[in-house]
Structure 1
Amino acid sequence: MWAAQYYKHKNPRHWLSSSGLGAMGFGLPAAMGAALAKPDAIVVDIDGDGSFMMNIQELATIRVENLPVKIMH
C-alpha cells in the first residue's frame, strides 16, 4: 500500500492497484494480466514477501508465456 500512496503518477491509466483493500496476493496476477493486455509496456509488480509467496507458482507461467513482468520484492 505504501507504493500506491507515494508513487508519482505521470500518465493516467498506468497504475493498477487493489485500491484501499490492501488485498494480499493481488500484485503478481494483476501484473501478468497487465502484461498480456499491453505486451509492449514495461510492467513492474511491487510486492511484499507474503503476497509474493501466495503466488510464487505463477513464476512458471511468466516463464512459459514469456511475459515481460518485473518483480520488485
Structure 2
Amino acid sequence: MSFLQADFRLRLDTLMLEGDFRFDSGITAVFGPSGSGKTTLLHVLAGLRAPDTGRIVRNGDVLFDSSTGVD
C-alpha cells in the first residue's frame, strides 16, 4: 500500500488538472516548468484546495472523497 494515493480532477479557469499519483514514504520531488501546476498539486495534497472530483488517501486515512462526501 502506498503512503499517499491521489486520483483527482480540478478545473482551473480553462485548464483541467488531472492527477493520479501513488507515493511511497520517503522523499519525493515535484518538478516541471513554470505554470505546470506544481503548487496547485501540493495545495490539493495538503488539503488547502479541494479538487472537484476524486479521492485522496494518506496512510489508509481518506482525506477527500467526492463520491462519499469526505472533505
Instruction: Please give the range of the TM-score, normalised by the shorter of the 2 chains.
Output: under 0.3
Q: Per residue, is there more strand in 1 or in 2? A: 2
TM-score, normalised on structure 1? 0.27
Q: Per residue, is there more helix in 1 or in 2? A: 1
TM-score, normalised on structure 2? 0.27
